[in-house]
Amino acid sequence: MNILTKVCVIPLACLIVFPTVVMGGEVDSLVIDANSTYTVTNAQSELFLKSLTIGDNAVIQFDPDVVRWHLQASSANVGKGVVINASGLPGGNGIVGKGATGVADECGDGKLGEDGGHGSNGTDGVAISMRLAISAIGSLTIKAVGGEGGSGGRGGAGQQAGKVIRCTGPDGGAGGQGGEGGDGGNGSYVRIVYSYLEGAVASGTLSKFITVDNTGGIAGKGASGGHGGGGAEGKYINMRTLTGSKKWMPAGQTGVEGRGGKAGRIGVAGQTLIERDLEGRISTFVQSQTRQQDSVKAIQQSMLLEQQAAAQAALEAAALSAAKLAKVNAELSLFKQQSVNLKQQLSEIVLNNQAASVNAKAKTTLAATESEGLRQLVGELQAQITTLETLLVKSDEQRILSNEKFLALTVSVDGIKTEQQVAQKERADKSKESQKVVDQLLRRLEVLEKRPPQEIIKEKIVEKVIEKAEMTGVKPVTEGQ
Amino acid sequence: MRSTISKAVRLATLGLTAAGAMAISQTTMAEVDVSASAGVASAYLFRGVDLGAGNAAVFGDITASAGGAYASVWASSGDAGLGSEYDLILGYGLEMDDFSVDAGVVNYVYPSNDDYDSIGQLTEVYVNLGFKMIGFSYYNNVSDQAKGNAIGSEGYEYYSLSGDVGSFSALVGYADPEEVSGSKVDLDYTHIDLSYAYNDNLSFTASKIVDFDDDSTPNAGIDDDLLFVVSYSLPIK
């Protein structure tokens, strides 16, 4: 692997291995498990999330260098007992003044104790700004209290005075002054702009679910001054006096106690602002409307598809009806052809009957003799006619059935027509074509209806009679007869 | 025998005084502490003897000390016999834990008396030794013109043993004037002083000579009656 390869590969590997780092604060979603603690770093001072889920009893805290936090989530699900600890850090305590240790030189006053250091100020709470679209919320506590000011350091003790040798008793050293307390940090600014998502579990004002404590930090306590050093004790020394050689040397004074440090200033309470996100609500409403419009469009499309399917089915039914009609037409054509043939045959029979009538007159006499036989034949014919009448009854029944079928077809066609009329509202062109087909079918049906089946049956009966007559040689009775 | 011891003590005292003087010169650069006081007493009590003949006296002193060495001037309205007085004191003291050593020279000057109106005419050397609350002092008149003083005309020595407990002090002193050679008069005496410092200013002292041969020293000017002295001292820093 040469240098160029290494230079190219290593950053690429970093991009692959550490995508979160590369992406910085841009995170699509954040899930904080229940009972866990999540620490916000300075790099996450601004978080824009599509989804935020915080489990029950989770705690969010901040690195010391984070001074503000903006959180924006398009969908927030906050559990119960969640705590955001954005309180400032307490100030450090002042250094305790160093006491003047030991004993001063002989006849010397004690040295002063060192002053105590001042407590440092507590830090301000982390300013929090949140814009949340809430889907569910349990309870949330935001602690944004200013840090407590540090206590001042106690003053150092004064030094013990030196011994009396040949002097008035020296005084003890004064105690150092107590350090002043640090100022409490200011409570932070907390602003929450919220809205509820459609179908959110919670509702109403968010203050019901959120508790904010952003009071100012407690002032640091001032420290007491250091104790003064002890003065020298009085004692007798050998010295010339009016009362002998012993002189009482007075004691030294105890050192003055150091002045106490002042307490710090209490931090200023922060402001809290919890308000509904009107812009978000409008946006949500618009989104809802858009979704509803999309839904309406989908319904319309679905209805259109259903209409198309219904029209298709109607077309198919019409095609099927057309096929059936074609079949009926074919049968009718066949009947028609047969009827034409029967007419021709009947005409021939009539001609033949006219020709035969001449012969018949001549043979009337002969026929009289044979009348008895004819009567028998007539009887037979009557029987046959009875049979034919039975058939005719059956044909009537078939006709009735056929009529019922026709009626059913008519109803079906009417339904199809109705459906087509409904479909025609959306698709007029197809409806027109369907109507044309239906009209054609209706016309054909009307044509068919104009041809009553009794006539056809009658023709068929005539044909059968003629056929029988031909077969038996008996002259058939004509229509005139 | 006593004379031999006295000479040895004198030499030692002079040596210590010389050492103190040297120490003063070496510590000139050291911090100098100055203290002063003034006061009044109902009597001038000196080594068990009322020098003021019942009269009150006033006093004042100023002391400069540095590194153990000290120099002091002490003045008083004086006694009945020699008049006003001032003393010049030069000494050196050391304290090491519970032990203390102090030695020096004191010149008694009486301006109104021709015999003792100059430095050296009445001079004592002294040594003070201490251990905790117990102290021992030795004074010796080393002046060449020591004569005619109230104690004796041939010089003298003085010893004391003291003990201090808080603001109480007890002292037993023994004065040993040199009697005139061949004299049968015994001037030695012993006295006891009891002092109490009521506060830093007011103190009371009771003194009594307990061992004095009054019969052998008539008209010696020493009264062995109990003396009670009240003094008020005002220290000035």
pLDDT of residue A448: 67
Q: Which domain holds residue A52?
A: 3-276
Confidence check: pLDDT of A25 > 50: no
Are both A259 and A319 inside the same structural domain? Answer: no
Are both A432 and A341 inside the same structural domain? Answer: yes
Residue A366, in any domain of the structure: no
Confidence check: pLDDT of B21 > 50: no
Q: How confident is the model at residue B5 (pLDDT cuts 50, 70, 90)?
A: very low
Q: How confident is the model at residue A12 (pLDDT cuts 50, 70, 90)?
A: very low
Listed residue (A319, A305, A218, A206) closest to A269, CA to CA: A218
- Chain A residues close to B233, C-beta within 8 Å: 241, 247-248
Are both A156 and A23 inside the same structural domain? Answer: yes
Rounded mean pLDDT, A187-204: 89
Listed residue (B150, B234, B232) closest to B198, CA to CA: B232
CA atoms within 13 Å, Cβ hemisphere of A175? 25
CB contact residues (below 8 A), chain A span 116-175, against chain B:
163, 165-169
Out of B37, B162, B205, closest to residue A243 by CB: B205
- Chain A residues close to B129, C-beta within 8 Å: none
pLDDT of residue B173: 95
Are both A201 and A336 inside the same structural domain? Answer: no
User: Which residue in B has a C-alpha nearest to residue A108's C-alpha?
Assistant: B33
pLDDT of residue A308: 85
- Chain A residues close to B203, C-beta within 8 Å: 243, 248
Tell me which of B55, B233, B234 to substitute to probe the interface with A (most A C-beta atoms closer than 10 Å).
B233
Are both A136 and A247 inside the same structural domain? Answer: yes
Contact state of B193 with A244 under an 8 Å Cβ cutoff = yes
Residue A467, in any domain of the structure: yes
User: Which residue in B has a C-alpha nearest to residue A243's C-alpha?
Assistant: B45
Rounded mean pLDDT, A9-28: 43
pLDDT of residue A451: 65
Q: Which CATH superfamily is domain B2-236 in?
A: Inverse autotransporter, beta-domain (2.40.160.160)
What's the number of domains chain A is made of? Answer: 2
Judge whether A373 and A474 are in contact, CB under 8 Å. no
Summary mean pLDDT of chain A: 82
Are both A243 and A335 inside the same structural domain? Answer: no
pLDDT of residue A404: 80
Minimum mean pLDDT among A30-44, A450-464, B49-63: which range? A450-464
Distance (Å, whole) CA B148 – CA B145: 9
Residue A293, in any domain of the structure: no
Contact state of B200 with A248 under an 8 Å Cβ cutoff = yes
Which one is predicted more confidently, B130 or A200?
A: B130
Listed residue (A201, A216, A210) closest to A274, CA to CA: A210
Distance (Å, whole) CA A74 – CA A131: 8
Summary mean pLDDT of chain B: 81
Are both A315 and A268 inside the same structural domain? Answer: no
Minimum mean pLDDT among A24-38, A76-90, B153-167: which range? A24-38
Angle in degrees, 0-180, between the axes of helices A278-362 and A453-472, rounded to the nearest 10? 30
Which one is predicted more confidently, B3 or A67?
A: A67
As for the ipTM of the complex, it is 0.83
Residue A365, in any domain of the structure: no
Q: How far apart are the first and last CA of chain A?
A: 123
How are the residues of chain B apportioned to helix, strand and coil, as percentages rounded to the nearest 5? 10, 55, 35
Residue A158, in any domain of the structure: yes
Interval B89-102: pLDDT, tens: 999 998 888 999 99
Contact state of B65 with A250 under an 8 Å Cβ cutoff = no
Token pair in block for residue A134? 């809430």
Contact state of B65 with A163 under an 8 Å Cβ cutoff = no
Are both A251 and A389 inside the same structural domain? Answer: no
- Chain A residues close to B162, C-beta within 8 Å: 236, 246
